[in-house]
Structure 1
């Protein structure tokens, strides 16, 4: 009996010590990993975050996230996610940040904390630089292209006066903005409606002097970083980092690299 009791005590002591060791190992791992941020992104969203021919993450938001992480002394890992599940991934702790052309709106604010806005976007009208189209009114009876199921399609559909004035009373639908711009180049259509950030990217790649963007736009929005509502310290750090890279002019350089223009949000109304 004494031997049995002694063995039980030894096993209990060993179990307690094992638990203590595991506890401190976990603390150590958490301490080591607290400076690693997992960024969730859609790896097909050109030009914000996507994969190059070698499978590496590239894009405007990728470069900006790297600059911000350096400013706040954090390591980052880019995690491709199902974009429709982004808030769930964040809530479940699978990622720490949603950072990939993430539009700030009131509905999302109910479940996600947003950083300060860092990029301004709007739905714009692009036409050839040599065309005599300089206002929305001058699109009357003109053929207008738009990517199907896009924010641009929503914007043009909500402007009934514009919709009714264009040729056929409806835009011509395309699978991509690049397809629409190809038809604009060939003269098959007169104008394209698209997200400015996407439009600037494709214009920059194809030769931006060939195009012009009308001064009138359809809808405006801003992009921010999505963070769990209870991660207030991380929210403050991200805002600090964004402020640093914007003040230094680094964000401007990244914008010009991808869009050929400075689209960084600076608090304009």
Structure 2
């Protein structure tokens, strides 16, 4: 009889644990819907990209359910700020640290100046190596770029909705400089050149200054009021494991890069491209 009661107790505990696990609210991660190859919607409308694959693997290793939704970048950030979602992945800024706590770096990436080679100041722009040298020029930037807002005060900045609008400003001579993530921008240019639309030839005139204007660390930024705020130490350990065992390097290679600063080499016809 005691054996039966003990067995019954074990069954009840197992059922209770299973039920609690099934009812665990997923960690809700929101991010940019159009920032390939880091994060974007693929041709099937599903989340894809380097950061998405890293998050999937990390949360699988932590045995924590993960929910991912992608939106325009400004909206995705606001959802984290308002506590609707738990976190986003981005760089730290004073404004973001008011409502989030940051993980250790997930990825390091360099950002570069892009310029139209027909710009009358082309030669001068191609010699720029520091932020202070940017002031004489008109800079175009996409809404939601927190680093630009925090670090380029006093510069002449034109704000536009997205990366496509920014490059169009360069092509049409309405701005001098666009500062962008190296591999995201180069993948975008590569895609546009091969799209054969009316601006394809213009994209061939976009040139990159090979001196990085900044190097940034992409981190998981968790809302301070999230119930998952206590997972940061565990997340940091898992990310470090993924770096050490080659998982992150493999994910980067899967998306068409041999390292973080190489040109996009993935064929435009592959199914994982937006």
Normalised TM-score (structure 1) = 0.60
Query: Is 1:115 aligned to residue 103 of structure 2?
Result: yes
Local SS of the residue matching 2:113: strand
Query: What residue is the counterpart of 1:145 in the other structure?
Result: 140
- 8 Å CA contact retained: 2:183, 2:260: no
Q: CA separation of 1:182/1:70 partners in 2, compared to 1, >3 Å: closer, same or farther?
A: same
Deviation readout 1:186-245 (Å, 9 max, x if unpaired): 66654323355643542454479963235252x664322234767576323312221122
Q: Is 1:211 matched up with 2:207? A: yes
Cross-structure match for 2:260:
262
State the alpha-carbon separation in 2 of the partners of residues 140 and 105 from structure 1: 21
Query: 1:69-88 alignment to 2 at 5 Å?
Result: 69-72=59-62, 75-79=65-69, 83=76, 84-88=78-82
The question of whether the paired residues in 2 share the 8 Å contact of 1:145 and 1:174 is answered with yes
Which entry has the higher C-alpha Rg, 1 or 2?
A: 1
**Which structure 2 residues correspond to residues 28-177 of structure 1 after superposition, within 5 A?**
28-32=18-22, 37-42=26-31, 44-47=33-36, 48-72=38-62, 75-79=65-69, 83=76, 84-89=78-83, 97-98=86-87, 100-105=88-93, 108-109=96-97, 112-120=100-108, 124-128=112-116, 131-132=122-123, 133-135=126-128, 144-148=139-143, 150-151=145-146, 153-154=148-149, 157-158=152-153, 160=154, 163=155, 170-177=156-163
Q: SS at the partner of 1:178?
A: helix
**Inter-partner Cα distance in structure 1 for 2:137 and 2:240:** 43
Match of 2:272 in 1: none
Per the alignment, residue 234 of structure 2 pairs with 237
CA-atom RMSD in angstroms = 4.3
5+ residue gaps, structure 1: 1-20, 164-169, 264-269
Say which structure is richer in helix: 1
Q: Distance in 1 between matches of 2:98 and 2:136?
A: 42
Contact 1:112/1:226, CA 8 A, preserved across alignment: yes
